[in-house]
């Protein structure tokens, strides 16, 4: 595995009440080299909190993180994923679209165009993750966390029911 996150947990104190609210509860994710992964889920399920602990540097309550073969336990903010050539985020939401095929359902091609040529990906849906494979990291550029959430909302809207 290229990147393995195990037992990610993030809680926040409740406002005006006793106790904590759990934003991410014991999440484990494994990502192979060359995969581009985004999270699927309803509003409030912890997608943004997960990304913030990995990209922005918000400290998790618990995390065993193995990045490129290096184990980091309870990763501090300075150990957030390196954005750049090794780990990249998706392009702007307006540059990402899932195309429908002739029968009205989404096609199997996702195009991401951002300051360069169009790059095509095969789209697979497995569990709660939308994985885009066959991507060229030279054609995908880093932007903010909300980009992933926007893509997730669009992908959920376009996926056929059942």
Q: What mean pLDDT is predicted for residues 12-29?
A: 86
pLDDT of 58? 67
How far apart are alpha carbons 57 and 152 in whole angstroms?
Answer: 21
Cα distances from 131 to residues 73, 147, 159, in angstroms, run: 26, 15, 14
Residue 43, phi then psi, degrees to nearest 5: -55, 135
pLDDT of 55? 55
How far apart are alpha carbons 52 and 62 in whole angstroms?
Answer: 14
Report the chain's mean pLDDT, rounded to a whole number.
54
Strand ranges, E, within 102-152: 106-112, 119-126, 129-133
- Is residue 161 over pLDDT 80? no
How many C-beta atoms surround the C-beta of residue 38 within 10 A? 20
pLDDT of 18? 85
- Is residue 14 over pLDDT 60? yes
pLDDT of 31? 77
> Comparing 90 with 17, which gets the higher pLDDT?
17
Q: Is 118 in contact with 111 (CB distance < 8 Å)?
A: yes
pLDDT of 68? 64
- Is residue 107 over pLDDT 50? no
- Is residue 65 over pLDDT 80? no
Task: For residue 2, name the pLDDT band (cuts at 50, 70, 90).
Answer: low
From 84, 155, 161, 162, select the one nearest 121 (Cα to Cα). 155
Q: What mean pLDDT is predicted for residues 62-82?
A: 57
């Amino acid at each position: 595995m290229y990147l393995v996150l195990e037992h990610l947990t993030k809680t926040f104190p409740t406002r005006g009440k006793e106790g904590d609210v759990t934003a991410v509860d014991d999440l484990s994710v494994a990502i192979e080299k060359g995969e581009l992964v985004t999270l699927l889920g309803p509003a409030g399920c912890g997608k943004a909190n997960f990304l913030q602990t990995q990209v922005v540097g918000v400290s998790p309550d618990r995390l065993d993180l193995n990045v490129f073969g290096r184990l980091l336990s309870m990763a501090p903010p300075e150990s957030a994923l390196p954005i750049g050539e090794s780990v990249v985020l998706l392009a702007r939401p307006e540059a990402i679209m899932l195309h429908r095929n002739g029968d009205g359902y989404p096609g199997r091609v996702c195009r991401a165009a951002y300051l360069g040529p169009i790059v095509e990906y095969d789209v697979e849906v497995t569990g709660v993750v939308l994985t885009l494979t066959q991507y060229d990291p030279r054609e995908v550029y880093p932007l903010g966390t909300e980009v992933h959430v926007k893509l997730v909302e669009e992908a959920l809207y376009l996926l056929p029911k059942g």
